Structure 1
Amino acid sequence: MPIDTKRKAEDDEPRPEGSDYDSDGSEEPDFINVDFDFRAPEEIDFLALKRLLQQLFYTHNTKLDLSALADHIVKTSTTQGVGTTIKVVDDEDQDPYAFVSTIQLSSEKKAGLEAANSLTKYLLEVSSKPSSKSVHDVIKSAASSTSTNAPVIAVLHERMVNMPPQVAPPLYKMLLEELKASLSSTSAPQPSHYLFFSRVFSADAFSDDEAMDEDDDDEPSGLAGARKRKAKLARREAKKAGAKKDAPKTRAISDGMGLSGAESSGDEQLGLFHPEDIAISKVASHSLTYRFPPPADASDSFEAPLFGRVALVPAGKMETLLQQIEADLSMPMPQ
């Protein structure tokens, strides 16, 4: 896709909670004006795309061929005109702050499908538990080299923390338009589902416990002390992630269950890095959430639990999904 066909977006967003404020102690955040340039992925973006993929797959990133995935994003843009990155206007050499692309899941072993094989293998692994059999079966039947079923297309998307969520509607809209044009020009089969992958985090601490002093050494023992320590960990993780106190939350679920699935006996809540996950979960036909293993330094860096989230959206519901994301996240027009 020619680079000059990408569109621009302007945003006037406050810095998230935890950013630097004025030295006078005011609680009002600073405002920044940023012009974002929506551009086609290029070779120069390879390493930055790989880093965003590492962020997306967290401690499971070693299970995937991230180099093949990053290369796929660049090549898909060049050969099919599908995919977008976000950079700051007039700074083309800067690393992208976000990207979106697609990849058709496949387990066929042949040259050029290394990225698809890697992602498909990973998704089949994380959905292998009995509780996620429905997700596993959809992926397996669509990705099999002998299958005659309609394909499943995975949407690869990640953005830097603190990016305004208003960038999501144009990203997804352009992606679907580009993909439709590509499928039409190549007479490729239409997908049965679009697979969305994202992360969610433990947000159990966002309550009245927020008033507790994190530096208070007089910590209660037993269960009360454990809950207080857990609250501290979650608050610190949320601040590091740029999340706000009132960020979207959803009730926790057991490993392998859907984000909007059955009731859980736990008290934990999951917070969303990407608020569009709410709309995605509403139209998804299948979904699951599973715990990422903590990093080796989790206890030292106060890492709160993170989870991977998979959602399968029927192709026929994508227009409805885009409309809902746009209604939820689009910026109001200036008066």
Structure 2
Amino acid sequence: MVRKRVRDEEVLPEVSPAKAADDDSGSDTDINMVDVEFEWFNYKPDTDFHGLRSLVRQLLDIDSQLFDLSALTNLILSQPTIGSTVKVDGEDTDPYAMMTVLNLHQHREKPVIKDLIKYIKEKAKTSPNLAPVEGILSPTVQVGLVLTERLINAPAEISPPMYGMLIDEVESAVDDKEPYEFTHYLIISKTYQEIESTLDHEDAPKQKKSKAGKSARETFYFHPEDEVLQRHALAYGTYEYTKDEGEGMADSKRAFQEMGIKPQGSMILIEARKFEGALKAIGEYLNIQQ
């Protein structure tokens, strides 16, 4: 069940408990499933700092080294009724997932937001697809920066309720004259591509290697909902990280696959008037009733 403390104590919809495979099963065909009940909470500064900081680091990947993550985490925690954490063992445990939105205009003088805005502008210049992003980041435009991340074993189905709650909370905040009346939402995320591993044996078939090297690289999504959001976007695209992990790190992320994995940053810019429709499409894509 989706449960969360909100401003007006509204009743939130239920979602089915997530199911996970039981690794103790000795059969290849019969998979035991276990039910996990996720709970949604407002941010709790006393307990969420370290877990939230880890998720923000994971979201920004290798480029997280460029930012003051503690300052960014504290900024998120300073607006506890905007956004959600998702947990499974009660409010005082580390989150499995998080989501929030930050007003880039409101916080533009904070050093960590200055660094983020500079970084986003620089990355937007690297791709024609992202060109509109730089122009939107002007002092007169109200842009909400959406930060959302989850642990690798957290199901995508938890994202529609998180987005739905975010919309409701932003609307309540606007009614309370708080600075969340955005014209655009900018979602920072990440994708990955599969690349030829450097650990393949020298006697591997050369023809296969050659074919893999020449084929166009397909983009894969850490967050499947991003593919849906892009259909409603004013602009979207990927960018290379500033820091270089090197080929060895790509091999370490093979996860027993033939190919290595190369993460990339991703940005999705959506007009506020189209945001709610985009989130409805996510629910339909993931077969979630909101």
Instruction: Give the TM bin, normalised by the shorter chain.
Output: 0.7 to 0.9
The equivalent of 1:87 in structure 2 is: 87
Contact 1:14 1:29 in 2 (8 A): no
Whether 1:305 and 2:257 are equivalent positions in the alignment is no
Offset at residue 203 of structure 1 (A): 4.4
| 1:1-335 aligned within 5 A | 4-5=5-6, 9-15=15-21, 20=23, 22-24=25-27, 26-43=28-45, 44-77=47-80, 81-89=81-89, 91-106=90-105, 110=109, 113-129=110-126, 131=128, 132-139=130-137, 141=138, 144=139, 149-186=140-177, 188=179, 190-203=181-194, 218-221=203-206, 224-225=208-209, 267-292=216-241, 293-296=243-246, 297-298=248-249, 301=252, 302=254, 303-331=260-288
Deviates more, 1:49-58 or 1:28-37: 28-37
**Aligned partner of residue 129 in structure 1, secondary structure:** coil
Deviation, 1:21, is 5.8
3-state DSSP of counterpart to 1:197: strand
Which blocks of at least 5 consecutive residues in structure 2 are unaligned? 255-259
Count of residue correspondences: 271
Q: CA deviation at 1:118?
A: 2.9
Query: Which amino acid counterpart does residue 74 of structure 1 have in structure 2?
Result: L
- Give the Cα–Cα distance (whole angstroms) in 2 for the partners of residues 34 and 174 of structure 1: 20
Q: Secondary structure at the match of 1:304?
A: strand
Cα distance per residue 1:257-312 (max 9 Å; x no partner):
xxxxxxxx961101111111122100000112112354254165245111111010
Shift of 1:187: 5.5
Please state how far the C-alpha of 1:180 moved relative to its aligned partner.
1.4
Between stretches 26-35 and 176-185, larger displacement belongs to: 26-35
Q: Secondary structure of 2:152's match?
A: coil
Code of the residue aligned with 2:33 in structure 1: it is: F
Relative to 1, partners in 2 of residues 1:9 and 1:36: Cα closer, same or farther, differing over 3 Å?
A: farther
C-alpha distance in structure 2 between counterparts of 1:191 and 1:32, whole Å: 40
Deviation at 1:114, TM superposition (A): 3.4
Decide whether aligned partners of structure 1 residues 164 and 62 sit closer, same or farther in structure 2, where only a CA change above 3 A counts.
same
48-57 or 28-37, larger mean C-alpha shift? 28-37
Give CA deviations for 1:67-118 in whole Å, capped at 9, x if unaligned: 11111111111xxx211100114x33221000110101149764xx334323
Q: What is the CA–CA distance in structure 2 between the aligned matches of 1:305 and 1:186, rounded to whole Å?
A: 43
TM-score by length of structure 2 reads 0.82
**1:31-52 superposed Cα distances (whole Å, 9 cap, x missing partner):** 1101111001112111111111
Residue 227 and residue 57 in structure 1: after superposition, are their counterparts in 2 closer, same or farther (change >3 A)?
farther
Kindly tell me: are residues 270 and 31 of structure 1, through their superposed partners in 2, closer, same or farther at Cα, counting changes over 3 Å?
A: same
Point out the more displaced range, 129-138 or 51-60.
Answer: 129-138
Deviations 1:179-213 (A, max 9, x none): 111122125473221001111111479xxxxxxxx
Distance 1:166 1:278 in 2: 14
Of all paired residues, the percent bearing the same amino acid is 26
Query: Considering only aligned residues, what root-mean-square deviation do their CA atoms show, in Å?
Result: 3.0
| Cα distance in 1, alignment partners of residues 48 and 18 from structure 2 | 26
Shift of 1:28: 4.2
Q: Give SS of 1:155's match.
A: strand
The residue identity in structure 2 corresponding to 1:291 is E
Query: Structure 2: which amino acid aligns with 1:317?
Result: K
TM-score, normalised via structure 1 length: 0.72
Structure 1 distance, partners of 2:288, 2:24, is 24
Does the aligned pair in 2 maintain the 1:201–1:306 contact within 8 Å? yes
CA positional deviation for 1:327: 1.1
Residue type matched to 1:42 in 2? K
Q: Assess, with a 3 A threshold, how the Cα gap between structure 1 residues 180 and 4 changes in structure 2: closer, same or farther.
A: closer
SS of 2:70 mapped into structure 1? helix
Instruction: Classify 1:115/1:106 alpha carbon distance in 2 versus 1 (closer, same or farther; 3 Å).
Output: farther
